Amino acid sequence: MARKFLYLIAGLTVAVLALILALWYWSEDLTEMAFVPSVSFAQQQALPPESWNNPAMWVARPGLKDDPSSWLPPGVKAPDTKLPVAVFFVHPTSYIARDAWNAALDDKVSRDRANLFVQGMASPFNQGEVWAPRYRQAAVGTFLTARPEAAQAIDLAYADVLASFEIFTRNLRPGQPIALAGHSQGAFLLRRLMRDRIAGTPLAERLVGAWVIGWPVSLAHDLPKMGVPACVRADQSGCVVSWLSVADPADTAMLLKAYARRTGLDAQSVAGSAFLCSNPLTGVPNSAAQADANLGTLVPDFKARTGTMAAGVVPAACGPDHFLHIGPPPKLDLGAYVLPGNNYHLYDVTLFWANLRADFERRTQAWLATQKK
């Protein structure tokens, strides 16, 4: 499984590097021209929730053969007993073409990338039962423009996520706790799902935690609508964790512009609003920790076609700009996927892989303890 994982990484190199080079060297207008879809938005039929009864509609789910979320880095042992929690994970954007506003469900390239992302980013949660749906995700260029087609593409992607979540909930055991997790586009959509399916419902009482990583969660315009508070203690359950990683010196202008293009869950502009910064090394917001608190960064080794854990290398501190700063670029061979402005977006999860795994287990145990009282 590990070897298959790295083969997929190698296959991504050319396309992803093209995107990164464009962002580094081209003006914003040229970048938009290069990656924003050049076609009209294609109206597509809504899929009923029952479509996700088909195992082929999931990247990961219990009982799925070759489930990428079950992967573990060398040296990390699977637990003897799984946690009784079901995890709904929404993968980040894996479709970077511009010939459509949404990826087709049978698009091989984006499917392979989704497998890769689930393997690297959902695996910290595999002490539980991971469910990660395939969905007609919005193209990466959707988040580089304010054109009306972008909103339509996001709505289509969200409809699929919402439908798949219905099947996820139908498969829960009575009273079974749940966790929510997503990165980038996945986190963006997860915010909305929490407003529409968690807030004010019995599921909020069963929520171990929500890891909404790689997209800003506005403290004023998102969090009040999500149904649960931000996590303010490391042993708190039923709360939201979120961060966006940058190295120093950081230039976050492009990130903030993308953030400002979208409205919050209250339909108001989020431009200029503060967003949640949870420190994955401490489990609490607006805090700092030295590198020795980092239990392990997942480092891909392309030549050996494997990945290794490196503990005690990457520090983290929430800055006054609400970003999670990791200090100077780490002295690790992480590959060529750092975005402009020292933006470590693609590494939001893997920089803190082992701490995220421990955080998930700790918050799950905290939730289980509340059920014994």
Quote the pLDDT of residue 254: 85
Residue 8's pLDDT band, with cuts at 50, 70 and 90, is very low
- Residue ranges per domain, the chain? 36-372
Tokens of 350: 């893997």
* C-alpha 136: how far from chain center: 16
Instruction: Please provide residue 41's backbone torsions phi and psi, each rounded to the nearest 5 degrees.
Output: -70, 130
- Beta-carbon contacts of residue 141 (< 8 Å; ≥ 6 apart): 32, 35, 36, 37, 96, 98
**How confident is the model over 339-357, as a mean pLDDT?**
95
Instruction: Please provide residue 240's backbone torsions phi and psi, each rounded to the nearest 5 degrees.
Output: -110, 135
pLDDT tens track for 207-239: 999 999 999 999 999 999 999 999 999 999 999
Average pLDDT of the residues of the chain: 92
The least confident of 1-10, 25-34, 328-337 is 1-10
Q: What is the pTM for the complete model shown? A: 0.93
Better-scored residue on pLDDT, 192 or 23: 192
CA angle 298–13–316, rounded 5-degree value: 30
Q: Which phi-psi region, left, alpha or beta, contains residue 15 (left: φ > 0; alpha: ψ -120 to 50)?
A: alpha
Tokens of 189: 């959509």
